[in-house]
A and B are shown apart, each in its own frame.
Chain A
Amino acid sequence: GQNIDQPTEMTATEGAIVQINCTYQTSGFNGLFWYQQHAGEAPTFLSYNVLDGLEEKGRFSSFLSRSKGYSYLLLKELQMKDSASYLCAVRGPGGYQKVTFGTGTKLQVIP
């Protein structure tokens, strides 16, 4: 099975940098995703990591350490519109490669 842990809530200031952590325990690993979900809306894909290291995409970066079962999402130059929940999801092994979602971290950006 898979178990994913994320902080429930975080608060950060507009213009600052915030790091959202995700730890996982899995019987097999085939990639980690980060999704953004605004309240009442659908999740949207942010990033994918399958190898160790940092993937940068504009203001957002995602890091993975497979040996530590650890990932983080880094958001720079925070904007008010970044207030949302951030979902960490891990893909398992096998033909279907099932994706298991964490409960999400609700980020509030304040002026």
Chain B
Amino acid sequence: DGGITQSPKYLFRKEGQNVTLSCEQNLNHDAMYWYRQDPGQGLRLIYYSQIVNDFQKGDIAEGYSVSREKKESFPLTVTSAQKNPTAFYLCASSAGDRVNEQYFGPGTRLTVT
């Protein structure tokens, strides 16, 4: 079955620690995205990548970093510089066709205390 996987589903970290969230897709999509979702707010774009070895900052990139070494993988690192890291993180991918709808992974709920 094709799809997007994110792991783990729940993650707990202490303040001051960096943490990396995994995102893998086997849909053969070129584009991949990271969003965070907070209560009462829409999805906000952190980073996106349209092709391997290239990525761009979204609206709220500060305190985050990404890499895109393989087409299938787009890991997100939440650094200690991110002021409010506790959130629901969603990874998505899209094919780049006319509609270009995004397919989302199940999400990772990160709690930093």
**Bind each other:** yes
Q: Across the two chains, which residue of chain B brings its CB closest to A44?
A: B104
Best-surrounded residue of A48, A91, A99, A103 (most CB of chain B within 10 A)? A99
A41 to B9, CA, bound (A): 10
Interface core residue of B50, B100, B101, B104 (most chain A CB under 10 Å): B101
- The verdict on A101 contacting B104 (CB below 8 Å), with A43-B90, A96-B56 known, is no
Q: Is B41 an interface residue (CB 8 A)?
A: yes
Is B106 located at the chain interface by the 8 A CB criterion? yes
Q: How far does the alpha carbon of A4 sit from the alpha carbon of B44 in the complex, in Å? A: 13
When the two chains form their complex, are residues A104 and B42 in contact, meaning their CB atoms are under 8 A apart?
Answer: yes
Return the chain B residue nearest A4 by Cβ.
B42
Chain B residues, Cβ within 8 Å of A100 = 42
Cross-interface CB contact of B101 among A40, A48, A87, A98, cutoff 8 Å = A48
- Residues of chain A within 8 A of B105, CB atoms compared: 42
Interface centre among B40, B48, B102 (most CB of A within 10 A): B102
Complex Cα gap A4–B41 (Å) = 11
Contact partner of B42 (CB less than 8 A), chosen from A31, A96, A97, A102, is A102
Determine the distance from Cα of A8 to Cα of B13 in the docked complex, in whole angstroms: 32
Residues of B within 8 A of A48 (CB): 99, 101
Contact call B100/A97, Cβ cutoff below 8 A: yes
Q: Which residues on the A side are within 8 Å of B106 (C-beta)? A: 41-42
Chain B contact residue count (CB 8 A cutoff): 22
Query: Which residue of chain B has the shortest Cβ distance to A30 in the bound complex?
Result: B100
Q: A96 touching B50 by the CB < 8 A rule?
A: yes
Residues of A within 8 A of B100 (CB): 91, 97
Whether A72 sits at the interface, judged by CB under 8 Å, is: no
Which residues of chain B are near A33, meaning CB under 8 Å? Answer: 101
Determine the chain A residues whose CB is within 8 A of the CB of B99 once the complex forms: 31, 48
Q: Is the CB of A42 within 8 A of B104?
A: yes
List 18 A-B residue pairs with CB atoms under 8 Å apart, sorted by A's residue number.
A4-B42, A31-B99, A33-B101, A40-B109, A43-B102, A45-B103, A48-B101, A87-B42, A87-B43, A91-B100, A97-B100, A98-B58, A101-B35, A101-B42, A101-B43, A102-B42, A103-B41, A103-B42
